[in-house]
Amino acid sequence: MEAISGAGAKSLGMYVNPCKTVHRIWQQRELIAQLTAREIAVRYRGTYLGVLWSLITPLLMLLIYTLVFSIVLKVKWSDADQATRLDQFALTLFAGLIPFTVFSEVITRAPTVILSVPNYVKKVVFPLEVLPVVVLASALVHSLISVGILLGGVVLLQGTVSPTVVLLPLAYLPLILLCLGLGWFLASLGVYVRDIGQSVGLVVQMLFFLSPIFYPVSAVPEALRIVMAVNPLTTVVNSFRQTLLWQETLLWEPWARWTGITALLAWFGYVWFMRTRDGFADVM
């Protein structure tokens, strides 16, 4: 009994130690890169335009959202003339959509990422914890393509690129940690509770409208701004706009706060996943 207890404590310590967690994921970097490349290739396999869809899709979504929210609903970011507002609104909207699209893709796919590969669970010794990381990596690749499109639009419309774009990796950090934590947690929970996939889709739709993507925080009534304050996507979205568009540095206090909170969330999600993975084969 003492030997078993000692082994269990040692195993738990390996999962709980965040440094060992980072080291374990880093050791799997080549596998993650290979699976990410394969996932991107599979997504566009058999299509005529191939990877060009990663350019076409965000541009079409940008056009639709700009038409609906700026022209039809008359949502404004400033009191400038209509032509300037439209250009500014399109860029501002796109900068907000980039991080939200990463979040949405990871969270909606996470509950089924383990269920979709039963052979990895039942027949093969495989590091299942890398699968949510692969989903995130694929989403990040597509987001970087969107960032390139946005910067091209900024140069075309404004003639210059914000010097604070060098802070973009820091803007990505809380987003990555948030997606990792929720990705690991939902990937495990989705194995045991199959309904979670349906409910997550509803939550993501709600967060789309509860995040300052197509409206500024200043447009939200004071009584409801607490919703913005407790939503980590508020800081993430604003950080993307500050670094990509507004030539502003990050708001360091909320950025540091949410980076710390999402780091704890990522740690919890990983520990949860590793402690529950032994039961996956029993319920699949």
pTM confidence score: 0.86
Please say if the pLDDT value at position 118 is more than 80: yes
CA distance 96 to 246: 13
Percentage of the chain beyond pLDDT 90 is: 44
pLDDT at site 257: 95
Rg (CA), the chain: 21
- Non-local CB neighbours of 69 within 8 Å, separated by 6+ positions: 75, 89, 93, 214
The residue ranking higher by pLDDT, 159 or 190, is 190
- Non-local CB neighbours of 151 within 8 Å, separated by 6+ positions: 161, 165, 244
Please say if the pLDDT value at position 68 is more than 80: no
Q: Which of 32-36, 107-111, 123-127, 129-133 has the lowest mean pLDDT?
A: 123-127
Please compute the mean of the pLDDT values over residues 258-284 and round it to a whole number.
91
Digit-coded pLDDT (tens) for 197-231: 888 988 999 999 889 988 888 888 888 888 888 99
Please say if the pLDDT value at position 273 is more than 80: yes
Please say if the pLDDT value at position 83 is more than 60: no
CA distance 165 to 158: 15
Q: How confident is the model at residue 259 (pLDDT cuts 50, 70, 90)?
A: very high
Q: How many CB atoms lie within 10 A of CB 113?
A: 21
What tokens does 215 get? 């409206």
Residue type for position 277: R
In angstroms, the Cα distances linking 30 to 25, 27, 107, 130, 134 are 10, 8, 24, 11, 11
What tokens does 255 get? 């950025």
Contact 241, 95 (CB under 8 A): yes
Alpha helix stretches (DSSP H) within 111-245: 118-122, 130-158, 168-192, 196-210, 225-229, 232-244
